[in-house]
Amino acid sequence: MQLLQSSPAIYGNIDMNPKSGLILHVQFDKPVKLSSAIYPDLVKEVYFFLEPGLQPKSLMFFQSTKKFIVVVLKGDSNKFITQNNLP
């Protein structure tokens, strides 16, 4: 959750295909409210794109608006992978 609230900014590129790293899917049992004003609704599902050496990106789906956004998160993909014991 901390990563999702880490100064998100709208992703400005078209290509979301990672060159390497991991894609992590998280579906919340109950939609969650995040503190940043960039999120217009409760978040029900998230895909993290964790590429070594790059800031994490996230594809986020919302509960009631049936919309999604892609954001760049302020964080370190390598550190996130290590701290969460991901392969």
**Predicted confidence (pLDDT) per residue in 4-51, tens digit:** 777 688 888 877 778 889 999 999 999 999 888 888 899 999 999 999
Split into its structural domains, the chain has a count of: 1
Report the alpha-carbon angle 44-34-23, nearest 5: 55
pTM: 0.85
Sign, CA torsion 59/62/68/69: negative
The rounded distance, in Å, linking the Cα atoms of 29 and 53 is: 31
Q: Which residues form the domain of 7?
A: 3-83
Q: Residue 68 in contact with residue 61, Cβ under 8 Å? A: yes
The rounded distance, in Å, linking the Cα atoms of 74 and 4 is: 9
Determine the straight-line distance between the first and last CA of the chain, rounded to whole angstroms: 20
